[in-house]
Every structure is written in structure tokens, then in C-alpha cells.
Amino acid sequence: MAKRKLRGGMVGGGIGAFIGPVHRMAATLDNEAEYVAGAFSRDPKKSKKSGEELGIDPSRTYATYEEMAAKEAKLPADQRIDFVSIVTPNNGHFPASKTFLEAGISVICDKPMTTTLKDAKTLQKLVKKSGLVFALTHNYSGYPMVKEARNWVRSGKLGKINKVVVEYPQGWMSGMINTPGNSIGMWRMDPEIAGGSCCMGDLGTHCENLVRYITGLEIDEVCAELTAFVKGNRLEDDGNVLVRYKGGARGILYASQISAGEENPLAIRVYGTKMGLEWRQEDPNYLYLKDPAGLQTRFSKGNSNLSQEAQAAARLIWGHPDGYIEAFANIYREAFKGIRAVIAGKKLPECDHPDADDGVIGVAFIDALLASNKSKAKWTRMKT
């Protein structure tokens, strides 16, 4: 029998948004879900218009997410939404997530989970108590070859991990360096909306999550320098970090929005006592195994010699590139496994998606960076 389609709602993601459409394509790619409700903008008119364009029944396009949560919760079980996708700017993540969880609705939320560690812990507790699904879209862990990388580390192929280099340089703000006027209004640079960090909250947390996903390593201490190169930017647009992982591994983690000419080259290199590995997001269907004997082997997505997990995460066979949307859809697919269990009244199965615990760590990571930077790059312990 076909599984019934899950019903989704969306908070944010109206006309002109970047990440909203990604969520919609990702959630529906496998024909497992459809969006039936939304509060697409803080501007009720824009929300309404967005709903129309998306083919949402006008009665379920809401002016606010509070209204949406309240009204959806009262709908009969065979009509109300099974999950909500929260794709607002950062400061919307916490209140919206809290509201829907309290209304009994599972949440898929953009990162960072919250703008303060206190909120993050509140949410973490709430998720546990609720028994609902909370998935955080650190989407890069959705790529098949990232899953393969994790498998290599877990299986001992690399030996004990000694060093990790993770980088995420972007260059889109470099143009603003010379023409600051038109950019400072941007929400990512506004502490009220973005929280205490611009670049590291946006990009650095993906780095932290990717390292932990692949290697399992937890950060012990960080030593960070954060810089705002764009004039007028009250938050940093570049961050360089030395990292000490628990157990003795060392690392470099950096992110940037002023690395002129870089697009989105998130990359990770992991070095163990036996082997090294390398993965690059802009060429995501390949994973490289580096043998000290002088061989470098490229593994391809969708190939039968990969781990079961990596194979399952590929939608197409080798040579047929899976892209960003497909990886994003893997986060949803895993969340849907959990949501269906919730609906069926079953115990939550193990699902391979970032969750509230990851969210807390991500926010704690930002806090540690800010503290280290404030103390002039003193080694600062990460506290979760």
C-alpha cells in the first residue's frame, strides 16, 4: 500500500525567499508530502499572495504562525498538518518552533536553532517532553558521500582521527566592502534578528555540524578571531578558529563571507593515523580516500561498493549527479520516518537527521567563539 502523503505547513518562505522553495522541493521530492498550510510572511498580504501562488487553500493561509498553530491544532486529525517547516530569519526559529511543538506539531527548522543558548536548551527539553520530531536542516549531512565519509570513520578505515580541516569561505559580501550603504539593512548583519553572529552562525555552524557528523568528534576548546570587514557591519563577516577536540584531535575551522570570488565551497579534510579523506560540497558526488602510500581513490555516489547508508541516500546511480535539493530532501525523508512513527503512535525510530541536541551544540559553539574572540583568542571551553 502507498503511504499516505504527509501534510505540511510552512512559516516564512514567501515570494522571493531563497530557502523556502528549497524546503518545498526537498519535502515533496519523494512524493511523501505536500504543503497545505502556511504563514509565509510577517506581512499578511504577502503571506496571502504567497499562499495563492503556491496553490494553498486560502482558508489555510494564515496571517501569523500563532494563528496557524492554534487553528491547525484544532482541525480533525485527518486534515491538520503533520509537520511545519520553519524558514524565517534566525530570531523566528525559537518562538515558532516552541509554538508548534506545544501545539503537538512536529517541526523541521532552519539553523541555527535559536539565537541564545538558553532558548536552545528550552527547546531541547520541550522536544524531549513532546515526543515529537524536531529536525534541524544542517542539510550538508544529507549528501550521500558525507554519509559514506561517516561510515569510513566509524568503521575505523582512517584509524584514530588526529586532524580535521573544515572550511566554508563565501565571497558574496566582498562587493559590499566598498559600498556598505546598501547592505547594512540586511537581516544577517542585524544582531536583533541574526543573533550574536553573522558569518559563523550562518556558515560556521554548518562546519561544526559536518565535522561532528562525519567524525563524531566533540569540540573541547576553541580559539577564535572574528572580524567585520564590511564597513558598518555590527557582526562578523569572517571567522578563523583553532579547535581542540575531546580526545586529542586538533583542527582548523573557518568561514567567511568576504572571500572574494568564492561561491559555496564548504569542504572537509579528515586525517587519521591510517588514512585521510576529503569531500567538497561543490563537487558533492565524490569522496576521496587518501592513502599515505601515495594513492588517492575517488568513490562515486550511487555505487554498489558504498555503505548501505550512502547507497540509500542516493536517488540516482553513479554519473547522474545528485544535487543540493536531493541532499536536502534526505533530511526530510529521515524526518518523515519519525513523523510517521509519531502518527502511528509508535516509538520514535533512529532517524538520520540533525536534531535539537545538534541545535544546542551549534548555539553553544557560537557562544564559545564569541567568548574566545572577546578575550582576544584565549582558548575557551565549549559549554553545552
Closer of 98 and 333 to its own copies (Cβ): 333
Closer of 30 and 66 to its own copies (Cβ): 30
Q: How far is the CB of 279 from its own copies (least distance, A)?
A: 13
Preceding omega of 349 cis (within 30 degrees of 0): no
Cα–Cα distance between 224 and 208 in angstroms, integer? 13
Cα–Cα distance between 257 and 200 in angstroms, integer? 10
Contact 64, 39 (CB under 8 A): yes
Q: How far is the CB of 224 from its own copies (least distance, A)?
A: 8
Q: Give the DSSP H/E element, type plus range, for residue 163.
A: strand 161-169
Q: Phi-psi category of 131—alpha, beta or left, where left has phi over 0 and alpha has psi -120 to 50?
A: left
Regarding 340 and contact with its own copies (CB under 8 A), the answer is no
Contact 245, 192 (CB under 8 A): no
Q: How far is the CB of 210 from its own copies (least distance, A)?
A: 15
Cα–Cα distance between 241 and 63 in angstroms, integer? 42
274-303 residues near its own copies, rule: CB under 8 A: 274-276, 281-285, 289-300, 303
Regarding 16 and contact with its own copies (CB under 8 A), the answer is no
173-232 residues near its own copies, rule: CB under 8 A: 174-175, 177-178, 223, 225, 227, 229
Q: Out of 4, 125, 374, 381, point to the residue binding its own copies (CB under 8 A).
A: 4
Closer of 56 and 96 to its own copies (Cβ): 56
Report the sign of the C-alpha dihedral through residues 96, 100, 101, 106, in that order: negative
Q: How far is the CB of 175 from its own copies (least distance, A)?
A: 5
236-275 residues near its own copies, rule: CB under 8 A: 238, 240, 242, 244, 250-252, 254, 256, 258-265, 269, 271-275
Closer of 103 and 169 to its own copies (Cβ): 169
